[in-house]
Chain A
Amino acid sequence: MKKGIITVVGQDRVGIIAKVCTYLADHQINILDISQTIVQGFFNMMMIVDIRKIQSFEAVVDDLEKLGKDIGVDIKLQHEDIFNKMHRL
């Protein structure tokens, strides 16, 4: 399965997870795993998502970046391979 890693970093506020999850649901992107912490008021979340049904990866990257700007956090979607290659033999 092809997976993507979504990271969300920024000032904590109401509705961050809701907004991100709504977008993912609307675009048929299944969430496989979520981990989230708050460090000194900073929201830090990582999601592993199934990207097989995504038509245009670049479009989703742009959408999520824009969504992040709207709610004042930094949202990134990256293909998991960059992390696998860097951290796994």
Chain B
Amino acid sequence: MINMFEVTETNQMITEENLDVRTITMGINLMDCADSDINKFNQKIYDKITSRAEHLVKTGEEIEKQYGIPIVNKRISVTPIALAASASHESSYLSVAEALDKAATEVGVNFIGGFSAIVNKGMTESDKALIQSIPAALAGTEKVCSSVNVGSSKTGINMDAVRHIGSVIKQTAQLTQDKDSLGCAKFVVFCNAPDDNPFMAGAFHGVSEYDTVINVGVSGPGVVKKALESCRDSNFEVLCETIKKTAFKITRVGQLVAKEASKRLKVPFGIIDLSLAPTPAIGDSIADILVEIGVEYAGAPGTTAALALLNDQVKKGGAMASSYVGGLSGAFIPVSEDQGMIDAVTQGALSIEKLEAMTCVCSVGLDMVAIPGSTSEATISGIIADEMAIGMINHKTTAVRIIPVIGKEVGDTAEFGGLLGYAPIMPVNSYSCERLINRGGRIPAPIHSFKN
């Protein structure tokens, strides 16, 4: 039978170490809403989302009460709109974003993802329409998140799209400059984007999915940090075992919540995303774990090795705790959402180049990085191309969520608020990549992708 020590340990994780389930995300297929009339399409997607997700938030809250664990976010991901809306032949999808926003508000979720396009090889007219609508959509809505997949290990990198995205990010920054270019925080560009990621801003409901599905993202950097405090002088074997055991415990809670949500909502359970996702709250930091492992600040030599082992042990421990693992699965290293990362940047310990190296060994990529608003479109595209190349060659998901904060330069700070936090503006290499970005076309798939 459960004893007092175990009960106390669990409740201490929740009350003192910020253990939570980060998100329950309901994926909803919108392909069956296709219509040649965009207004009819918008009505159909609004109706489908609000009926499928009607009880999502309430169910999440009931599960929180039942187990006494916070479920921080309840969210929705939908079929990439560039696919679902393509029958409309419209040149702007702004009205679709507004319909999504309205549906998200109606059911009470905090974000809805899927204003997205998958263009890793080429772009359809619908993809172009969607990408062109992104700046206005992100400026004109509150809860809509957008993503574009521009590369994959199987197809290479669509450099036309990469060039275009540089300009989309800049326009989004300009349209939301009164809020420190916040619109860019709701947009991610991917290589090898997964179909079942529950985390924002990059969540969308892939075409290989169920009609409706529940995916859950777990978290708990504070719990891992606390556990590691007890093995400060231990060797790597003990260190890694401790991370694995902790990740196992965290993930078992996620699995419990996911199964319960799936049962109550009568929607299939998709995957658990085994993630360590930080928040700006003190003690809820990935950088603090890296410091606990033994570097003075995140970014110091040894950081990439520490992050690599952390990421791998989290997966090893979590994989056994969950029946299906998917999504992004790994440690996230956003700058603005992690107080330890912010401190490292402020101290000059962490640069964009070091972050780029760190993304080779952990989940996703350059995340919530604020750069000077004067950064050129081509340079933003260059940063994206580098990150996409890492994903393509290493068969992993990489992403860029970068915010050129209009009117701010190195030394200033951008304030995003809430879970998005704040970020010191990071310096960007000032040399040009314009000629590379302007070449146009595609970077071919790497030789090791031809596995058939």
Q: How far is the CB of A55 from chain B (nearest CB, A)?
A: 14
A84 within 8 A of B: yes
Chain B residue with Cβ nearest A87: B6
Q: Does A58 lie within 8 Å of B65, measured CB to CB? A: yes
How far is it, in angstroms, between the C-alpha of A61 and the C-alpha of B69 when the chains are bound?
13
How far is it, in angstroms, between the C-alpha of A81 and the C-alpha of B6 when the chains are bound?
12
Given the known interface contacts A35-B4, A48-B2, A80-B2, the answer about A86 and B10 at a Cβ–Cβ threshold of 8 Å is: yes
How far is it, in angstroms, between the C-alpha of A41 and the C-alpha of B2 when the chains are bound?
24
> Contacts of A58 on B, CB cut-off 8 Å?
62, 65-66
- Which single member of A37, A62, A77, A84 contacts B2 (CB below 8 Å)? A84
Q: Which residues of B, 1-53, contact A by the 8 Å Cβ criterion?
A: 1-4, 6-11
B252 within 8 A of A: yes
Q: Does A79 lie within 8 Å of B7, measured CB to CB? A: no
> Contacts of B62 on A, CB cut-off 8 Å?
58
> Contacts of B253 on A, CB cut-off 8 Å?
82, 85-86
Q: Which residues of B, 117-167, contact A by the 8 Å Cβ criterion?
A: none
Chain B residue with Cβ nearest A88: B2
A7 within 8 A of B: yes
How far is it, in angstroms, between the C-alpha of A35 and the C-alpha of B7 when the chains are bound?
12
Q: Does B65 lie within 8 Å of A86, measured CB to CB? A: no
How far is it, in angstroms, between the C-alpha of A79 and the C-alpha of B63 when the chains are bound?
10
Q: Does A5 lie within 8 Å of B65, measured CB to CB? A: no
B77 within 8 A of A: no
Given the known interface contacts A33-B1, A48-B1, A85-B253, the answer about A79 and B66 at a Cβ–Cβ threshold of 8 Å is: yes
Q: Which residues of B, 52-69, contact A by the 8 Å Cβ criterion?
A: 62, 65-69
B232 within 8 A of A: no
Chain B residue with Cβ nearest A57: B66
How far is it, in angstroms, between the C-alpha of A5 and the C-alpha of B2 when the chains are bound?
9
B264 within 8 A of A: no
B197 within 8 A of A: no
Q: How far is the CB of B249 from chain A (nearest CB, A)?
A: 5
Q: Does B10 lie within 8 Å of A87, measured CB to CB? A: yes
Given the known interface contacts A7-B7, A48-B1, A48-B2, the answer about A86 and B252 at a Cβ–Cβ threshold of 8 Å is: yes
- Which single member of A46, A62, A81 contacts B67 (CB below 8 Å)? A81
Q: How far is the CB of B1 from chain A (nearest CB, A)?
A: 7
How far is it, in angstroms, between the C-alpha of A62 and the C-alpha of B11 when the chains are bound?
17
How far is it, in angstroms, between the C-alpha of A10 and the C-alpha of B413 when the chains are bound?
41
> Contacts of A37 on B, CB cut-off 8 Å?
4
Q: Does A78 lie within 8 Å of B66, measured CB to CB? A: yes
B305 within 8 A of A: no
> Contacts of B68 on A, CB cut-off 8 Å?
61, 76-78, 82
What mask results when residues 241 to 256 of chain B are scored 1 for a CB within 8 Å of chain A, else 0?
Answer: 0000000010011011
Q: Does A57 lie within 8 Å of B65, measured CB to CB? A: yes
Q: How far is the CB of B193 from chain A (nearest CB, A)?
A: 30
How far is it, in angstroms, between the C-alpha of A48 and the C-alpha of B67 when the chains are bound?
14
How far is it, in angstroms, between the C-alpha of A57 and the C-alpha of B9 when the chains are bound?
23
Chain B residue with Cβ nearest A46: B4
Q: Does A81 lie within 8 Å of B4, measured CB to CB? A: no
Q: Which residues of B, 241-277, contact A by the 8 Å Cβ criterion?
A: 249, 252-253, 255-256
> Contacts of A57 on B, CB cut-off 8 Å?
65-66
How far is it, in angstroms, between the C-alpha of A78 and the C-alpha of B65 when the chains are bound?
7
Q: Which residues of A, 28-70, contact B by the 8 Å Cβ criterion?
A: 33, 35, 37, 44, 46, 48, 57-58, 61-62
How far is it, in angstroms, between the C-alpha of A44 and the C-alpha of B4 when the chains are bound?
9
Chain A residue with Cβ nearest B256: A85
How far is it, in angstroms, between the C-alpha of A77 and the C-alpha of B64 when the chains are bound?
11
Q: Does A82 lie within 8 Å of B65, measured CB to CB? A: no
Q: Does B67 lie within 8 Å of A78, measured CB to CB? A: yes
Q: Does A76 lie within 8 Å of B256, measured CB to CB? A: no
Chain A residue with Cβ nearest B61: A58
Q: Does B10 lie within 8 Å of A82, measured CB to CB? A: yes
Q: Does B11 lie within 8 Å of A76, measured CB to CB? A: yes
> Contacts of B3 on A, CB cut-off 8 Å?
35
> Contacts of A79 on B, CB cut-off 8 Å?
66-67
> Contacts of B11 on A, CB cut-off 8 Å?
7, 76
What mask results when residues 16 to 35 of chain A are scored 1 for a CB within 8 Å of chain B, else 0?
Answer: 00000000000000000101
A-side residues, CB < 8 A to B, are: 5, 7, 33, 35, 37, 44, 46, 48, 57-58, 61-62, 76-88
Q: Can you report 10 residue pairs joining A to B where beta carbons are below 8 Å apart?
A: A48-B2, A57-B66, A61-B68, A62-B65, A76-B11, A78-B66, A78-B68, A82-B256, A83-B2, A85-B252
B-side residues, CB < 8 A to A, are: 1-4, 6-11, 62, 65-69, 249, 252-253, 255-256
Q: A7-B7, A57-B66 are in contact. List 11 more A-B contacts (CB 8 A).
A: A44-B4, A46-B7, A48-B1, A58-B65, A61-B66, A62-B65, A78-B67, A79-B67, A83-B10, A85-B255, A87-B2
For the complex of A and B, list the 6 residue pairs with the smallest distance between their C-beta atoms, beginning with the closest: A78-B68, A82-B67, A85-B252, A87-B6, A58-B65, A83-B2
